[in-house]
Structure 1
């Protein structure tokens, strides 16, 4: 049974070809395209409002040089949000439940922020490894701790996204199986389980949106420290 629960996180294949690429491209195909008309439809208006408001919240605490990353951060959030929400539909696959994909996004972007900080403000970036006023005997220990905390940041980004989505999918799978099992035993318990499943699905939609925002927000905070 344990293997059946985790089979939903295995990348589906057709004739030996993995479909994870299709699952990553599909969100972009569903986005509304720009129009040359004077008046836009409701979907375009909502997408423009969502992008502008989310970008403003992400870029508000950042320095002016970090605003150059606005397009990339907004694109990344839309990309993650689309994959997270589409993965909740039946007979679909969620690419962001794969740790390899999340680390593949987190590590290069985190490394880019670190390289930018070392290139633009070398002294300030190196000063983060040793806080001011540190006693001399504690200097080697603090440098080691700060170095570990720096290199653990991309791992925390990827694991946080993977763990939250995986836990939600597992709970939905377990409660849906319990709902079907209790149908032949007690309709009352089955109805309660169904209500719980609906509420959990709504919660998981919120989690999918929040996790995409948190991923980009933390990346923006790392960028702020290095600009």
Structure 2
């Protein structure tokens, strides 16, 4: 039994050893691997079709130079979706509820898009810091504001993913506890909290997919500005 609501977010340990690496690798085993056959199974075919459609949608606004990022962004999307969905099941751990992991994903991706822009089109990339037609007196203030806006992007990426998944898991824990208590104390009234818990579960599965998509989409938009 959990001692508090936040104990579900603690990194699992075994014999005093941190199991985060094994936890990260376990959901990836569920992804179907390509085979050297003409006819693959339905799961592989559906996965390839979904990745193709989503990647095409993500890379539609990007330039030709940004198409090189398509395999990376597709892999990122599939990884986040797998982590988020697997973490919804009982007796599992959700790695994307850890801010440290999300920041470890967001910071390198954001920095790579910025460095790509500075290398390929430095003038256009630096021009984002100062809108055209800005009055002379506002130039220093706008440069500072735009610089802060640029530097805060990886923090926003990591915190958004962490906050949404953490809030959803906490809400599920509260509603499930209330449901069990209602069944014990007033069995005739269990239908309402059970229905609410079911609807919330469906919502959280949708949030898990949407948050993975939003994280990847924002990374693609940052790339679009620098290519």
CA distance in 2, matches of 1:26, 1:179: 31
Give every structure 1 segment of 4 or more consecutive aligned residues whose post-TM-superposition deviation is greater than 6 Å. Answer: none
* Number of residue pairs matched by the alignment: 227
CA distance in 2, matches of 1:116, 1:89: 39
**Equivalent residue, structure 1, for 2:20:** 20
Listed as ranges, the gaps of 5+ residues in structure 1 are: none
**Equivalent residue, structure 1, for 2:64:** 64
**Equivalent residue, structure 2, for 1:84:** 84
Shift of 1:22: 1.5
For residue 130 of structure 2, give the secondary structure of its aligned residue in structure 1: coil
For residue 183 of structure 1, give the secondary structure of its aligned residue in structure 2: helix
Shift of 1:102: 0.2
- Over 3 Å counting, the alpha-carbon distance change for 1:131 and 1:36 in structure 2 is same
**Equivalent residue, structure 2, for 1:32:** 32
CA distance in 2, matches of 1:3, 1:73: 38
**Equivalent residue, structure 2, for 1:51:** 51
Structure 1 stretch displaced more, 6-15 or 34-43 = 34-43
**Equivalent residue, structure 1, for 2:117:** 117
1:146 equivalent to 2:146? Answer yes
Q: How does the TM-score come out when normalised to structure 1? A: 0.97
**Equivalent residue, structure 1, for 2:104:** 104
Q: Please list the CA deviations of residues 167-213 of structure 1 after superposition, one character each: whole Å capped at 9, or x if unmatched.
A: 10001000000011111222243221111111111110110001001
Listed as ranges, the gaps of 5+ residues in structure 2 are: none
**Equivalent residue, structure 1, for 2:189:** 189
Q: How does the TM-score come out when normalised to structure 2? A: 0.97
CA distance in 1, matches of 2:35, 2:76: 22
CA distance in 2, matches of 1:101, 1:37: 36
**Equivalent residue, structure 2, for 1:160:** 160
CA RMSD of aligned residues (A): 1.4
For residue 40 of structure 1, give the secondary structure of its aligned residue in structure 2: coil
Counterpart contact for 1:51–1:74, Cα < 8 Å? yes
CA distance in 2, matches of 1:196, 1:19: 34
Shift of 1:20: 1.6
Structure 1 stretch displaced more, 143-152 or 31-40 = 31-40
Q: Please list the CA deviations of residues 132-167 of structure 1 after superposition, one character each: whole Å capped at 9, or x if unmatched.
A: 000011111100100000000000000000000001
